């Protein structure tokens, strides 16, 4: 999916999450229902499915899906909102029309206007913990590798040239895992086109910075006078390094999500909110992968399918609130009709279509009434047949 640094940057930039792109779930789900109804879906035959993370704060969207579609959604979600495409067989056997909602999620703390944590109201002290915990667990190792590299690459001046003093640990190319520098981006080659150090120290080596880096960091010259040095810090940009890690690349295997994220990981770890960017990218990658599965799956022949992908933002509950004020940011959608015709809706068009729908749904079910009716229904006696 990712072919270049520019490709990653454009994909991240194209996923807009501010302004009119965001829906409360209480508004999004009825609009979604009315939209697929307008496309000719037989609403009596729709079986929704959700591909969410397993966190308890994803329950409120599930309740709303049940309320508006009249049935509990099929579970197509793995940890971190990876789509369990191996479950499509049972899913397609259970209905005649399908609406799939896939969304990675990220916590939001309105008190600090920060992403990545969520107030756990069921803990004794209402503590803030990682959200999404799966994404945080995946990204933490990379964030730490980047933090170390920011300190292990020093800026210094030698004569009239900007130089980089790089720790030997970052120069060991035989490593199997870790952060690796894009030397051609950082270092000036010698006459033989080699990256040759101009000075060797006990635990590091100094190199002349590339011409492009000299230009970029010219504004730092006053801070590097009199033999002073400074860590590269935030000036170590995502196009200046990459990561390697020994991963199980089996589809839907142990490291599936990490494999989704390792190429764009430099942009994740340099983001102001790494977990937000990771959730955004995972949503984009999973939509691309799932579309290529369902678009050609013969089990959907003669059936309607609408697959929408986006980002769940879990706003921590305020005092007195039971559920989070979950918001949904659509990314893209895929519609396949009974005859096999299909269309992809990009974010701008998808949001416009949803905004055109009314928020009300006269066909929504009253969950309290449905539960009471089931509790009061005549009991069915379970009989075990005699076995000769």
Peptide bond into 172 cis (omega under 30): no
- What CATH number belongs to 5-141+248-366? 3.40.1050
User: Which candidate, 110, 106, 98, 35, places its Cα nearest to that of 71?
Assistant: 98
Provide the pLDDT for residue 388: 65
From-to residues of CATH 3.40.1050 in the chain: 5-141+248-366
CA distances in angstroms from 187 to 34, 61, 213, 217, listed in the order given: 57, 50, 8, 13
Provide the pLDDT for residue 194: 85
Q: Please, are residues 275 and 130 in contact by the beta-carbon 8 Å criterion?
A: yes
Against a cut of 0.85, is the pTM above it? yes
**Rounded to 5 degrees, what angle do the CA atoms 150, 156, 162 make?**
105
* Beta-strand pair 199-200/128-130: unpaired
Provide the pLDDT for residue 322: 83
Instruction: Return the number of other C-beta atoms located less than 10 Å from residue 387's C-beta.
Output: 4
User: Which candidate, 150, 147, 195, places its Cα nearest to that of 171?
Assistant: 195
* Beta-strand pair 46-51/97-109: parallel
Q: Phi and psi at residue 319, in whole multiples of 5°? A: -50, 130
What is the full per-residue pLDDT of the chain (388 aa) written as tens digits? Answer: 887 888 999 999 999 998 889 999 999 999 999 999 999 999 999 999 999 999 999 999 999 999 999 999 999 999 999 999 999 999 999 999 999 999 999 999 888 899 999 988 888 888 889 999 999 999 999 999 999 999 999 999 988 889 999 999 999 988 999 999 999 999 999 887 888 999 999 999 999 999 999 999 999 988 888 789 999 999 999 999 999 999 998 999 999 999 999 999 999 999 999 999 999 999 999 999 999 999 888 999 999 999 999 999 999 888 788 888 999 999 999 999 998 889 999 999 999 999 999 999 999 999 899 899 999 999 999 998 877 6
How confident is the model over 253-303, as pLDDT tens digits?
999 999 999 999 999 999 999 999 999 999 999 999 999 999 888 999 999
Helices (H), the chain: 5-14, 25-38, 59-69, 88-93, 133-152, 168-171, 183-186, 211-216, 256-261, 265-269, 274-294, 347-355, 367-376
């Amino acid at each position: 999916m990712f072919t270049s640094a520019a490709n990653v940057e454009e994909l991240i930039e194209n996923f807009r999450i501010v302004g009119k792109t965001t829906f409360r779930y209480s508004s999004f789900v009825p609009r979604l229902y009315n939209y697929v109804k307008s496309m000719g879906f037989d609403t009596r035959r729709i079986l929704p499915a959700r591909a969410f993370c397993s966190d308890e704060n994803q329950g409120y969207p599930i309740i709303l899906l049940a309320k508006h579609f009249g049935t509990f959604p099929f579970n197509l979600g793995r940890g971190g909102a990876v789509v369990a495409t191996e479950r499509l067989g049972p899913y397609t056997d259970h209905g005649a029309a399908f609406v799939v909602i896939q969304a990675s999620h990220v916590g939001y703390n309105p008190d600090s206007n920060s992403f990545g944590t969520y107030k756990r109201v069921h803990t004794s002290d209402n503590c803030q913990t990682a959200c999404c915990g799966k994404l945080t667990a995946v990204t933490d190792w990379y964030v730490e590798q980047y933090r170390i590299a920011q300190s292990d690459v020093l800026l210094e001046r030698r004569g009239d040239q900007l130089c980089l003093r790089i720790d030997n640990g970052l120069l060991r190319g035989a490593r199997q895992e870790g952060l690796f520098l894009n030397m051609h981006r950082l270092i000036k080659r010698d006459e033989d086109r080699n990256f040759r150090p101009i000075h060797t120290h006990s635990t590091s080596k100094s190199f002349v910075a590339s011409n492009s880096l000299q230009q970029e960091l010219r504004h730092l010259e006053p801070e590097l006078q009199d033999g002073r040095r400074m860590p590269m810090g935030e000036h170590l940009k995502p196009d200046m390094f990459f990561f390697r890690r020994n991963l199980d690349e089996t589809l839907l295997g142990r490291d599936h999500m990490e494999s989704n994220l390792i190429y764009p990981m430099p942009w994740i770890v340099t983001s102001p909110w790494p977990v937000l960017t990771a959730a955004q990218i995972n949503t984009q990658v999973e939509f691309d992968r799932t579309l290529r599965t369902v678009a050609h799956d013969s089990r959907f022949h003669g059936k309607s399918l609408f697959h929408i992908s986006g980002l769940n933002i879990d706003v921590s509950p305020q005092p007195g609130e039971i559920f989070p004020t979950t918001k949904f940011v659509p990314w893209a959608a895929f519609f396949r009709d009974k005859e096999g015709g299909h269309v992809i809706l990009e974010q701008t068009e998808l949001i416009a279509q949803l905004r055109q729908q009314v928020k009300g749904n006269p066909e929504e079910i009253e969950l309290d009434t449905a539960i009471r009716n089931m509790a009061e229904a005549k009991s069915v006696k379970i009989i075990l047949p005699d076995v000769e």
